[in-house]
Chains A and B, each alone.
Chain A
Amino acid sequence: MSVVQPVLSVRDLRVEFVTRRGALKAIDGISFDIAKGEVLGVVGESGAGKSVTGSAVIGLIDPPGRIAGGEILLSGMRIDNLPPEEMRRIRGKRIGMIFQDPLTSLNPLYRVSEQLVETIRTHTNLSSSAARKRAIDLLADVGIPAPERRIDSYPHEFSGGMRQRVVIALALCVEPELIIADEPTTALDVSVQAQIIALLKRLGREHGTAIMLVTHDMGVIAETADRVAVMYAGRIAEIGPVRDVVQNPLHPYAKGLMGAIPSLESAADRLVQIPGSMPRLSAIPPGCPFNPRCPYVFDRCRVERPEPIQQSEHRVACHLYDQSSVRSEAVA
């Protein structure tokens, strides 16, 4: 790690859901950093724990879920054990949020101007006219045409893509250090999706905001993120620079995942397929959680949990890359 302090630092985070059948481990010991101006993509299939990770960072895990261990640091300050009231202030000021459905972030009863101005004034000491001017600038910044006219509309008067832009403006208006974007483009059409991706990327760069982009869409990650964490069954299977992970994945799950995505470039006759599916939280196998589906599985994988190993710029949790493991198995 460099001397520059990361904006977000997650250390050995564990999240549990307590049910009558015992505690289910939704997140089981994950660690990652996001630097200033960096976009970290968190990708995984349903049940991988990617959204729970996002919720844990912003302190919005609903019971019966709870953080069971580890720590979350925002610019060096520990935030996972803060009282709810303080956490709420941090969410408003230092962490912005963008969700899949823009309507969850916007109040349908208030004009966009009221919501933006109120948020700006709560966290700065701008006058209301100055706040309104700033809100208009922000709307222009996120690509809303004629912002001085549109600002007084209600959320339902915007189309889906425009609404998501308003949410991004709302998330940006207090200049947060970190933005958590949970499937921000999933509900949008392809042609609109591309616009939102480009916008997020540009704003992250211009404002120096760290972005944690949670999505199931590897294409979106490939285009937007600087680094990517591939999650599987509550753990990070592999984390590294996005181009490396996409073109040269190391973890067998990441390999399978990349091969499974049909590409526009080449029409392969058959897609690579990983047999089976993600285990349910109540039935995560011992050892490496991927072992029942892994083509390279060997005895150690079934009993011992693989710890992340540094492999050039990647960190990969797989026994195949451990020098002490018996390397008799061929690695493709």
Chain B
Amino acid sequence: MTDALQAAPTASGPTTWAGRFLDSDVWASFKRSKLTMAAAFLTLLFLAVAILAGVLAPQNPFDPAQLDLLNSRLPPIWDAEGQTPFLLGSDEQGRDIFSAILYGLRISLLVGFLGVAFSATLGIALGLVAGYLGGTVDAIIMRVADVQLTFPAILIALLVDGVVKAVLGGQLDPATTLSVLVFSIGLSFWVQYARTVRGSVMVEKNKDYIAAARLIGLPAPVIMFRHILPNVMGPVLVIATINLALAIITEATLSFLGTGMPETMPSLGTLIRIGNNYLFSGEWWIVAFPGIALALLVLAINLLGDWLRDALNPKLR
């Protein structure tokens, strides 16, 4: 070729995925913020103890055979009446609060992650379709979203929860209860994803790389999922993080209201409800420790979400 530009490959940074990440601005901003690092550490710690609950907890609070009513309502171990191994005391059934928190965290996080996954999948899919196809499909999806936004999320979750339970009828086993929780939380949070994704899709679909893909005759689903989706995931990640905290709170609220996890398999919310009954009789530890755990978890995740939002938004950097 007459073009005398058979150049060597242009110089550039690291080529591996990990190298790229360590070189990125996101990682640099993470290292700069001590608060974010603390929040990340706390979140990871909660995750780790939840996963390792079976190893770390002195007792399995879900196994009625391990509970002894003689150990009921014991104060924390530093109190004169405290007993080992009841580190943070016990509730009226003789359940070790520390163990119950670890197992409860597991349920809260599980419901949180599954709820976010469900609502994100639903919201992203609907947002992609609405944004890419436009027209009537868009109008229908977004009007449904508008109507749903006029109700508080917790109300939707309660409604869905109630309807599903009425349909399924009677007492539900814990696994089904958990699925119903995930389903109702998922249905109450999809709107935010759908709106954000739709907005980003409307910007992306007018860019020329989409025109280039249409030019070679790619079908709409391929363009939506292979071309557009990777380019709209940034804001979704931020929403998902913040929604994880919201989903955990929603689960706790539902459980606190008594429509969530049963007392035989308590989540953090259920524990707080149980403890609430004993607050005025002096057994403060039953409500306080699960409450602190919940607050810390939600705070840590929210801090991470805030940081992520700033780090991924080039305008604020």
- Which B1-23 residues have a C-beta within 8 angstroms of A? 4-5, 7, 11
Chain B contact-residue range equals under 10
B56 located at the interface, meaning its Cβ lies under 8 Å from any Cβ of chain A in the complex: no
A275 located at the interface, meaning its Cβ lies under 8 Å from any Cβ of chain B in the complex: yes
Give Cα A81–Cα B7 distance, bound, in whole angstroms. Answer: 44
A149 located at the interface, meaning its Cβ lies under 8 Å from any Cβ of chain B in the complex: no
| B11: chain A residues within 8 A (beta carbon) | 283
Contact assessment for B28 and A275 in the assembled complex, using a CB-CB cutoff below 8 Å: no
Chain B residue nearest to A283 (CB atoms) is B11
* Interface of B: prevailing SS: loop
Chain B residue nearest to A21 (CB atoms) is B28
Give Cα A275–Cα B4 distance, bound, in whole angstroms. Answer: 7
Give Cα A275–Cα B8 distance, bound, in whole angstroms. Answer: 12
Indicate with 1 or 0, residue by residue over B125-146, a CB within 8 angstroms of chain A CB atoms.
Answer: 0000000000000000000000
- Which A251-281 residues have a C-beta within 8 angstroms of B? 275-276
Give Cα A244–Cα B211 distance, bound, in whole angstroms. Answer: 45
Give Cα A20–Cα B28 distance, bound, in whole angstroms. Answer: 8
Give Cα A275–Cα B3 distance, bound, in whole angstroms. Answer: 9
The distance from the CB of B119 to the nearest CB of chain A, in whole angstroms, is: 36
| B5: chain A residues within 8 A (beta carbon) | 275-276
Chain A contact-residue range equals under 10
Give Cα A150–Cα B11 distance, bound, in whole angstroms. Answer: 55
- Which B179-238 residues have a C-beta within 8 angstroms of A? none
The distance from the CB of B210 to the nearest CB of chain A, in whole angstroms, is: 25
The distance from the CB of A200 to the nearest CB of chain B, in whole angstroms, is: 33
Give Cα A71–Cα B5 distance, bound, in whole angstroms. Answer: 40
Give Cα A20–Cα B27 distance, bound, in whole angstroms. Answer: 12
The distance from the CB of A145 to the nearest CB of chain B, in whole angstroms, is: 37
Give Cα A275–Cα B5 distance, bound, in whole angstroms. Answer: 6
Give Cα A276–Cα B6 distance, bound, in whole angstroms. Answer: 10
Give Cα A291–Cα B13 distance, bound, in whole angstroms. Answer: 23
- Which A269-314 residues have a C-beta within 8 angstroms of B? 275-276, 283
| A283: chain B residues within 8 A (beta carbon) | 11
| B28: chain A residues within 8 A (beta carbon) | 20
| A20: chain B residues within 8 A (beta carbon) | 28
The distance from the CB of B14 to the nearest CB of chain A, in whole angstroms, is: 14
Give Cα A276–Cα B28 distance, bound, in whole angstroms. Answer: 31
| A275: chain B residues within 8 A (beta carbon) | 4-5, 7
Give Cα A20–Cα B31 distance, bound, in whole angstroms. Answer: 12
Give Cα A262–Cα B28 distance, bound, in whole angstroms. Answer: 44
The distance from the CB of B36 to the nearest CB of chain A, in whole angstroms, is: 16
Give Cα A283–Cα B11 distance, bound, in whole angstroms. Answer: 10
- Which B21-63 residues have a C-beta within 8 angstroms of A? 28
Chain B residue nearest to A275 (CB atoms) is B5
Chain B residue nearest to A280 (CB atoms) is B11
Give Cα A283–Cα B10 distance, bound, in whole angstroms. Answer: 12
| B7: chain A residues within 8 A (beta carbon) | 275-276
The distance from the CB of B2 to the nearest CB of chain A, in whole angstroms, is: 8
| A276: chain B residues within 8 A (beta carbon) | 5, 7
The distance from the CB of B120 to the nearest CB of chain A, in whole angstroms, is: 32
The distance from the CB of B7 to the nearest CB of chain A, in whole angstroms, is: 7
Q: Taking beta carbons and an 8 Å cutoff, which residues of A are in contact with B?
A: 20, 275-276, 283
Q: Taking beta carbons and an 8 Å cutoff, which residues of B are in contact with A?
A: 4-5, 7, 11, 28
Nearest 7 interchain pairs by C-beta: A275-B5, A20-B28, A275-B4, A283-B11, A276-B7, A276-B5, A275-B7
Query: What are 7 residue pairs bridging A and B, where the CB atoms are less than 8 Å apart in the complex?
Result: A20-B28, A275-B4, A275-B5, A275-B7, A276-B5, A276-B7, A283-B11
